[in-house]
Amino acid sequence: EDCLIVKNSLICMYGKNGDLKGAQDQFSEAKVKNVVTWNSLITSYAESGSCEEAFDILSQLERSGECTKFRPNIITWSAVIGGFASKGRGREALEVFRRMQLANEKTNPITIS
């Protein structure tokens, strides 16, 4: 568990510094993943402006066997929605928002802002 916390922190660190390859490498090396691991990578891509990649990773999470253990949460969805919105891509942000609603995820003030 401690190792996973460190791995998640490294993914965030690389992502915040714009090193998406470093973030992806840390994610790929993680033997165990949880929703925080996935959110760290998705947020890294979304905040760097790589919205399609963030959305693709969200889709991978939904298709993976990981979804039997956990599912995308409000942070996951908000990161992708925010990524598209910050790039002026309201239509795509709205499409992801609708998909979030279909997944029965409740909104919060961050999702809507």
CATH for 2-112, options being 1.10.10.10, 1.25.40.10, 3.40.50.410, 3.40.50.150 = 1.25.40.10
Q: Do 112 and 76 contact (CB within 8 A), yes or no?
A: no
How far apart CA 101 and CA 113 sit, in angstroms, is 16
Map out the domains of the chain as residue ranges.
Answer: 2-112
CA neighbours closer than 13 Å in the CB half-sphere of residue 38: 26
pTM as predicted: 0.90
pLDDT tens by residue, the chain, 113 residues: 569 999 999 999 999 999 999 999 999 999 989 999 999 999 999 999 999 999 999 999 988 876 667 889 999 999 999 999 999 999 999 999 999 999 898 888 776 66
